[in-house]
Structure 1
Amino acid sequence: MTPLWTSDEIAAAVDGTASAAFAVSGVAFDSREVGPGDLFVALKGEATDGHKYIDTALAAGAAGVLVSEPVEAPHVLAADSFFALQALGRAARARTEAKIVGVTGSVGKTGTKEALFQALDRAVPGHAHRSVKSYNNHVGVPLSLSRMPAASAFGIFEMGMNHSGELSALTQLVRPHVAIVTAIAPAHIEFFASEDAIADAKAEIFEGLEPGGTAIIPFDSPQYDRLRRHAERFAANVLSFGMGRDADIRAVEAVPAAQGGTLVTAKLPTADICFTVGAPGEHWVTNALAVLGAVEAVGGDLAAAGLALAELPGLAGRGARTTLYVQGRDALLIDESYNANPLSMGATLRQLGKEKAARRVVVLGAMKELGHRSAELHAALAEPIAASGVDYAILVGEDMTPLAERLEGQVAFAHVPDADSAKALILSKVQPGDAILVKGSNSVGLSCVVAALADGGKA
C-alpha cells in the first residue's frame, strides 16, 4: 500500500528535520482519534499542549509524530507544529491533480459536503476524499487536506467561519476549482452587523478559486445579487441553484417519493435529470441541486450522483432518523441536535409538519451566537411551531424564554434549564406513534436526549 506520507516528504513539506525514516497512513491532532500507522501532530493550544499526549498517541499505534520539541520517538521536528500542519496541508494540495470543491454556508454545508462526497465516490469508489465531521476551521481544514491521498480524483472540503477574514485564509489553502455557498442565514449574527455582512464573509470562499473556476450560489437567497457580484470577481463561471424559474440549476418538479424523500426533475445547464433525494425535506432538494451543479462542474457522473442521492444516509445530529419501539408501536426520532439557527429551525419544523404521526413533539435547544437579535429570533420560532402542528414542545435553556412567552396559551410546552432536564422529561412523555424532533445548537448538549431516546426505544 502506498503510504500517505513518508517522513522525508513530511520534513520537506514543513521545513523540518526527520529523526528517523518512517511512513504514515493517516494524520490526527487528537490523541483520542489516533489509529495504527497515523502521524500525530502535537499542537500547542491555549488550554493544552499536544506534546503531553505523545505517549498516548504512540500507544494507540502512531507511526510517528510532528512536533516542535525533540522527543524520544520517530518524529519530524519543525519550528511550530501549527504552522507545520498548515504547510503539510498546502503540500497535499500542491501534489494532487484532484478536482477540488469547497463548501460553505450558514446552513447545510456539512450535509452538502457529505452528499457531494457520496455522489462523486459512487462513480470512482475510493478515489474521492472529503473532510470528516465538521473539521472546517483553521485547524480542521489543513488537517483534512493533509489526509488527502495524492492520487485522489476529487476532494471536497467544508469551510466555516464566524468572523470576517477567516474564509479568505481557508480558501487560499484549499484553492477549489468549484466553490459552493449553500445558504445565508443569521447564524453567528452576534459577530456581524447584518445578514448582508454574513454574505460578504461567506463570499470570501470565491477568492481562492483556481483559474477557470466555478462559483455555485443560492438563487432563492435574499443575498443572491450580492453573492453574485462577489463571485463574478473571481469565478470564470457562476451558476445559481434553487427553485426559482431563472436558476441555472433548478427543480422543475418536486413531489413526495413513494418510499419517502422527494422525486425531483431538475434542469441543469447541459442536461435534464430525474432523481430521488432520499433525505426528506425541501432543504435537501435545494442541497441536492447544488450537489448536481458541482458534479457537473468537475466532470463527474450525473447518473451515479442521482443514485447516490437516493441512498443518502441520515447524518448523526443532522437529520438522522431512528425508529423507536414504544409500548408495542413505532415512534420516529429525528436527530438534528448538532446545530441550529433560524433558517434551519424553520426548515426542519416544516418537514416535521409533513410527518404522519399521532403527535408531533419537539425538543428545541437555544440557538447560539445571535447577539442582540437573540430574543427576537427565538420568539419568532412560534410561527413555524404553530404551522407545523406541534402538539408538545420542550424548550431548553434560558435563551428560550422569549419563545416560551410567545407560546403561552397556544401550544402545550415545558421550559427546562438544561439538556439533562429535557432528557428526563421526554423519556416520561414519549408515546406510541410520536414523531419527535430534537434540535438545538451543539453547545446545548441535546445529543444526550437523542442517545437516551435511542437506547430506551430503538426498534
Structure 2
Amino acid sequence: MIEAAKAAKASITSVSFDDRTADVHVHRLYEDERMSCLTANLDDLRLSFRLNMPGRHWVLNGLMVLAAVRALGGDLGMAALGLADFRPGRGRGRALFMDLGDGPFCLIDDAYNANPVSLGASLGVLARRPQDKGARRIAVLADMAELGATAAACHQALIPDLKAARLDAVIALGPLMQDAARKADLAVRRADSPEQALNLLLPMLNKGDVVLVKGSRSAGLDRLVSDLLALAHQVHNQQMEDRRLQASRPGAAPQIAPMAFDPAGYGPAGYGPADYGEAKRNDMHAL
C-alpha cells in the first residue's frame, strides 16, 4: 500500500505507538483501569489528550484519528475533545462494574468479535490492569472463527499473551482456545455454550475480580454478558427494596444508596442504549 501511495505521489503520514521516527507517535503515556492520558507528537506539534478507555490499541486508534484530522486541515483541539468524550460501544472492550451480592467486580465486555490482534490487545489490557489484594483475573474466551487453514497456528500464537496476562482462571469455548490455554499452563474449564460458561463463572466470582469476555461473534458470548447484567440488575433491585424496608422502620438511621444501574441505559432483554447496563455510583444521599 505504501508503494502504491508513493507511485501515486500521495502524501504519506506514518503513525506508530512506540516508533519515535514515525510522523505521529506517543511521547508520554499514563494508563489506569479506566483511561489513557497521553501526549503525542504530530510532526512538529505536541498535543495532550485523554481517552476514556485503557489499552494501547485504543491509543493507536486515537493517533490515527488525529493524523487524519491534521491531514485534512481540521481542528486538532476539537478532535482531542471529541476523543475525550468517546466511549466504546457494547462488546467493544467497555468496562462494566457490577455486584452480584458478594461485592463489586469489573467485567470487560469485549464480546462482539475476536481476531488474533484484538485478542492479544485485550489480554494486554487485562495484564496491565491493577488488582486489589486477593482479586483475580478471569477470562472467558471462545475460539476465533474464519481463520481457515491458519486457525490452529493463530490460536497457538496467543500462548505468550495468555501467559503474560497472568490469568487465574480461563473458561474456554472451543477446542482451539482450550488447547492454547492448556499449553499456556493455565487453569482451564471447558464450556460448550455461553450458558454453560456462565454457570461455571458465577461460583468463581469474588469482590474485586476482573473478568474479560471475548470471542468471535458466532460464539454468542454477548448472551453471557446480557445474562450477567440481568442478574446484577435483579440483585440491585433487591438491595434497594431491602434498604427501603430497613429505612421505613421506626428509628432507622439514614441509608446510603448502593451501587446502582442507570435505568435509562439498561434493557432486560440485554443491550439497551449507548449506556446499557453500566453500574455506577449515585450521588450519596439518604433514602
TM range (shorter): 0.7 to 0.9
Partner of 1:445: 220
Quote the offset at 1:371 in angstroms: 1.6
* Aligned pair partner of 1:396 in 167, 170, 173: 173
Are 2:108 and 2:210, in contact at CA under 8 Å, matched by a contact in 1?
Answer: yes
Give the aligned partner of residue 343 of structure 1. 117
2:146 is the counterpart of 1:372: no
> 40, 51, 73: which is aligned to 1:277?
51
1:263 touches 1:276 (CA, 8 Å); kept in 2? yes
Structure whose CA Rg is larger? 1
Per-residue CA shift, 1:22-63, capped at 9, x if unaligned? xxxxxxxxxxxxxxxxxxxxxxxxxxxxxxxxxxxxxxxxxx
- Cα distance in 2, alignment partners of residues 235 and 322 from structure 1: 46
Shift of 1:351: 0.7
Aligned to 1:315: 89
CA RMSD of aligned residues (A): 1.9
Q: How much has 1:386 moved relative to structure 2?
A: 1.6
User: Map of 1:131-142 to 2, 5 A cutoff?
Assistant: none
Task: Output the amino acid matched with 1:353.
Answer: A
| Equivalent residue number for residue 268 of structure 1 | 42
Between the two proteins, the alignment pairs up a number of residues equal to 230
Matched, 1:422 2:197: yes
Q: Which amino acid aligns with 2:228?
A: L
Look up the equivalent residue of 1:395 and give its one-letter code: A
Tell me what 2:162 maps to. Answer: 385
Are 2:108 and 2:211, in contact at CA under 8 Å, matched by a contact in 1? yes
Structure 1 CA distance for aligned equivalents of residues 86 and 230 of structure 2:
24
Once the 2 structures are TM-superposed, how far is the Cα of residue 380 of structure 1 from its aligned partner? 2.8
Alpha-carbon offset, residue 405 of structure 1 = 4.0
Following the alignment from structure 1 to structure 2, what is the Cα–Cα distance between the partners of residues 402 and 411? 10
Q: SS where residue 238 of structure 1 aligns? A: coil
Deviation at 1:356, TM superposition (A): 2.3
Q: Secondary structure at the match of 2:38?
A: strand
Deviation at 1:369, TM superposition (A): 1.5
The alpha-carbon deviation at position 359 of structure 1 amounts to 0.5
2:241 alignment partner in structure 1? none
Native 8 Å contact 1:327 1:432 kept in 2: no
Secondary structure in structure 2 of the residue aligned to 1:375 = helix
Question: Which whole-Å CA distance do the structure 1 matches of 2:53 and 2:114 have between them?
Answer: 18
8 Å CA contact retained: 2:37, 2:51: yes
Q: CA deviation at 1:430?
A: 2.0
Map 1:202-217 to 2 at 5 A.
Answer: none
Superimposed CA distance per residue, residues 422-455 of structure 1 (whole angstroms, 9 cap, x where no aligned partner): 1222233222211000001101111011111122
Q: TM-score under structure 1 normalisation?
A: 0.48
Mind listing any 5+ residue stretches in structure 2 that lack a counterpart?
234-278, 280-287
Aligned equivalent of 2:29: 254
Aligned match of 2:268:
none
Residue pair 1:394, 1:416 contacting (<8 A) in 2 also? yes
Deviation of 1:360 (Å): 0.4
Q: Which has the higher contact order (CA 8 A, sep 6+)?
A: 2
The aligned amino acid for 2:140 is V
Structure 1: 5+ residue runs without aligned partners? 1-226
Q: Provide the rounded CA distance (Å) in 2 between the counterparts of 1:379 and 1:352.
A: 19
Q: Which runs of 4+ in 1 moved over 6 A?
A: none
Structure 1 residue 230 displacement after superposition: 2.6
Distance between the aligned counterparts of 2:190 and 2:158, measured in 1?
14
The answer to whether the 8 A contact 1:398-1:417 is kept is no
Residue 234 to residue 337, structure 1, CA distance change in 2 (3 Å): farther
Q: Which residue of the partner structure matches residue 454 of structure 1?
A: 229
Find the partner of 1:363 among 118, 140, 143.
140
In structure 1, C-alpha distance between the alignment counterparts of 2:103 and 2:79, rounded to whole Å: 36
2:175 and 2:20 map into 1 onto residues whose CA distance is 42
Question: What code does the residue aligned with 2:136 have?
Answer: R
Query: Structure 2-normalised TM-score?
Result: 0.75
Decide whether the 8 Å contact of 2:105 with 2:208 is kept in 1. yes
Equivalent residues of 2:162, 2:181 under 8 A apart: no
2:98 counterpart (293, 300, 324): 324
* Residue identity in the other structure for 1:330: P
**Superposed displacement of residue 332, structure 1:** 0.4
Matches of 2:178 and 2:104, distance apart in 1: 32
